[in-house]
Homo-oligomer: A and B are copies of this chain.
Amino acid sequence: MAFLEELAAALGPAVSTDRSELDRVRTDRSGWTTPEVPLAVVRARSTEDVQALLRLASAAGVPVVPRGAGTGLAGGAVGTTGSVVLDLAGMDRVLEVDEDDETARVQPGVVTDDLAAVLAPRGLWWPPDPASRAISTVGGNIATNAGGLLCAKYGVTRESVLGLQVVLADGTLVRLGRGTVKGVTGFDLTALLIGSEGTLGVVVEATLKLRRTESRPVVTIGATFPDVRSAAAAAAAITASGLRCAALELMDAASCAAVDALVAAGEGPAGDVPALGGHGAFLLVQTDGGAAPQEAEQALALIAAAGGEGRVALDAAAGADLVALRRAAHPAFARLGEVLIEDVCVPRSRLPEMFDAVEAIGRRHGLPIPTIAHAGDGNLHPNIVIPASVPHAPGEIPDVVWAAGEELFRTAIALGGTLTGEHGVGVLKRRWIADELGEDVMALSRRVKAAFDPLGILNPGKVW
């Protein structure tokens, strides 16, 4: 095929058509594998590689699927038939850290935790904190506008990116945004690119807005509750009191049981952690900054008033143990079977209703759905466990799971919420996007997409 020959001539060993390499990019962390097989994988080493690929792809009308570490949960970066998967994981350098202006310039493939390791000795940090931070990349965080545990207080990825270098569909390199913390010259195309899931352009460099590490105390509270409603009420009371917690994380009874089983099996966090099994809910609260101890006192009083029992960790190690309990949720669920991690978000006041709905939906479909929530911003992750009794091919998601998923999405939207808080639409939620946006916004979005990518070669079949 002429296109592949041209590609090999231009990019040499960066291009692979090995079946194992093609298979590697047919899936992500959703558990779903596409039946489609891409044409090739390009492991980009430089901006020039990206430009060369996109020029050739534009000329030939070949689709390009940008991909980072492949840790997405919505199939947004899986290779499709006839496409070239553009793997950016190798462009992983931290190009510059400016301590005075609290900015960093990085390539898209740098792993979020690796960036943190570069920044920490300089007393700086980058707020986005997805649960996948040990394995996901900054470029992936940007593509999905990642959130995480800290975003109720510190914002999502959008709030921590000042500028981007982006290769457009035709290979043109553009610089969007700026290096200053403020600026309103022209449209906010940086914000438009963030969360666009590879459908508008390929991010090849980002200027990140950092924060200075505070040496002041972080206080962590782990609290158990008789039921999820009272835990949700405590979370609501904490928010309503004006406290701005760094983290406010809620786990339901099924999540508590799963984590407890993980701990009992010797695979849980090693520290001195409370037993969660048998409790109706676990609430993790973290306060930070100069008033952290007083704020924790206030939170503790509100927890007690809501019927919870709290344990306070004043030192970092004990706090980390409590956080580890929350971070153990995903490995704990994985022990129950294959899991589809969902990601709805509702107005904070509707959290108890949404928890009730998740329970009812699980019961109706005979599916365990342990659920954890970023309670500070109304973002729930119902984890639909696929029982061994439901037959399905590896990498396939059975219909009963989608039936439950559809009810989750429709309930969230009916409560004034959204079908994805932070994971993105990708392939897996494409069926429901029009329900949320409506046809006029869909049409407008397609026109915006065409303004960036008139030939429709960037990640086609995803999102829209």
A residues at B contact (CB < 8 Å): 98-103, 123, 144-145, 147, 151-152, 155-156, 158-159, 168, 172-176, 178-189, 191-192, 194-196, 200, 212-216, 236, 239-242, 289-291, 294-295, 345-349, 374, 377-379, 416-425, 429, 433, 436-438, 440-441, 444-445, 447-452, 463
Contacts and interface: CB of A to CB of B under 8 A. Distances in A.
B448 A187 contact: yes
B416 A179 contact: yes
Nearest to A435: B185
A447 B189 CA distance: 12
Contact of A188 (B152, B155, B191, B242): B191
B184 A188 contact: no
A440 B181 contact: no
A183 B421 contact: yes
Contact of A418 (B178, B195, B290, B437): B178
Contacts of A185: 418-420, 425, 429, 433, 436-437
Given A101-B347, A345-B183, A178 B417 contact: yes
B174 A101 contact: no
Contact of A290 (B144, B295, B425): B295
A441 B240 contact: no
A186 B100 contact: no
A187 B445 CA distance: 7
A227 B325 CA distance: 54
Closest 5 CB pairs of A and B: A290-B291, A191-B191, A183-B418, A447-B451, A212-B242
A249 to B, nearest CB: 14
Nearest to A178: B418
B345 A378 contact: no
B441 A174 contact: yes
Nearest to A437: B186
A187 B192 contact: yes
Contacts of A295: 290
Contacts of A449: 187
A294 B291 CA distance: 10
Given A290-B294, A448-B189, A100 B349 contact: yes
A346 B101 CA distance: 10
Nearest to A418: B183
Which one of A158, A178, A181, A451 has the greatest number of beta carbons of chain B within 10 Å?
Answer: A181
Contacts of A200: 187
A182 B294 contact: no
A372 to B, nearest CB: 15
Contacts of A175: 438, 441
A381 to B, nearest CB: 12
Contacts of A440: 168, 172-174
A379 B186 contact: no
Contacts of A425: 184-186
Contacts of A347: 98, 100-101, 103, 179-180
A337 B378 CA distance: 52
A351 to B, nearest CB: 10
Contacts of A195: 184, 187-188
Interface centre among A145, A422, A451 (most CB of B within 10 A): A451
Contacts of A346: 180
27 contacts: A101-B348, A102-B239, A144-B184, A147-B182, A151-B182, A155-B155, A155-B159, A168-B444, A173-B440, A180-B378, A180-B379, A181-B348, A182-B378, A182-B379, A187-B196, A187-B445, A187-B448, A189-B192, A189-B444, A191-B192, A213-B242, A215-B242, A290-B290, A290-B291, A290-B295, A444-B451, A447-B451
Q: Which residue, of A103, A418, A447, has the highest number of chain B Cβ atoms within 10 A?
A: A418
A159 B429 CA distance: 26
Given A174-B440, A184-B420, A185-B437, 13 more contacts: A144-B184, A174-B444, A180-B346, A183-B418, A185-B418, A186-B425, A186-B433, A186-B445, A187-B200, A191-B192, A212-B241, A212-B242, A290-B291
Contacts of A348: 100-102, 181
B216 A291 contact: yes
B182 A236 contact: no
A374 to B, nearest CB: 8
